[in-house]
Amino acid sequence: MHSIVIETPLGKAIISGDDMGVCEITVTKETDIEQSAAIPSCLQEAADQLSAYFEGKRTTFDLELNPKGTVFQKKVWKMLLEIPYGKTWSYMDMAKKMGDPKTIRAVATANGKNPLWIVVPCHRVIGSDGSLTGYAGGLWRKKWLLDHENPVKQQSLF
C-alpha cells in the first residue's frame, strides 16, 4: 500500500492504494504524515483530480477505485456515485432506490464507512428533513463541500 498527501482547503488529504487502484482517501489535521517514495500513477492521478476539484475545475472523477468493504457497503458506495454534482439525496432516497426503505439505517451506516472521501460523494447525503446529518469528516466539512459544489444559490424575488 502506498500513500500520497495533498493539501486541501479542508486539511491534508491522504490518498492510499496500490497498482489495483485507490483504496482510501481521508482527511486529517495531522501535520507530520509520511508519503511513499514511489507513488503509483493511479494515486498521482487521484491527487491531480482532487486538486482540480478544489480549484473548481472538476465536477466528476475518473479513477480506478479499489475500496475495501462488504458487498452491501460497495453497493451503497456505488449508488453514491450516481448523485450528481451540486445535488443531494436523503438516506431514505437511497434506501428506496436500493429497493427497501427499511434498509435506511444500514444505508446510513455503510455511507458512514465510505473510505473514499469526496470521490465517492457521501457528503451529498442529507437527512429527509434537509438537515446536514452524520459526516465522518465533521459537519463543517460537509457544509463546506456542499457550498463548494453549489456556489450559486437561487436568489429570493422578495
For the stretch 9-54, pLDDT in tens is 999 999 999 889 999 999 987 777 777 788 889 999 999 999 999 9
CA-CA distance, 35 to 86, in Å (whole number)? 32
Q: According to the model, what pLDDT value does residue 113 have?
A: 95
Q: What residue spans in the chain does CATH classification 3.30.160.70 cover?
A: 2-54
- Going through 19-123 in order, the beta strands assigned E by DSSP cover 21-28, 89-90
Domain 2-54 in this protein, CATH class? alpha beta
Kindly indicate the confidence band of residue 158, based on its pLDDT and cuts at 50, 70 and 90. very low
Q: According to the model, what pLDDT value does residue 28 have?
A: 87
71-149, what's its fold? Arc Repressor Mutant, subunit A (1.10.10)
Closest among 70, 75, 83 to 122, alpha carbons compared:
83
Kindly indicate the confidence band of residue 136, based on its pLDDT and cuts at 50, 70 and 90. confident
DSSP character for 6?
E
Query: Whole-number mean pLDDT of the chain?
Result: 91
CA-CA distance, 10 to 20, in Å (whole number)? 27
CB 59 within 8 A of CB 85: yes
Query: Please, what is the angle between helix 104-112 and helix 71-80, to 10°?
Result: 80
What pTM, to 2 d.p., does this model score?
A: 0.89
**Residue pLDDT, tens place only, 87-100:** 999 999 999 999 99
Kindly indicate the confidence band of residue 85, based on its pLDDT and cuts at 50, 70 and 90. very high
Q: What residue spans in the chain does CATH classification 1.10.10.10 cover?
A: 71-149
Catalytic residues: 122
CA-CA distance, 86 to 124, in Å (whole number)? 8
At 139, is the secondary structure helix, strand, or coil? helix
User: Half-sphere exposure of 20 toward its Cβ, with a 13 Å CA cutoff?
Assistant: 6
Residue with cell 490518498: 15
**Residue pLDDT, tens place only, 139-155:** 999 999 999 998 665 54
pLDDT cut 70: percent of the chain above it: 95
CA 53, chain centre distance (Å): 12
CB 69 within 8 A of CB 115: yes
What's the grid cell of residue 155?
Answer: 436568489
Q: According to the model, what pLDDT value does residue 138 have?
A: 87
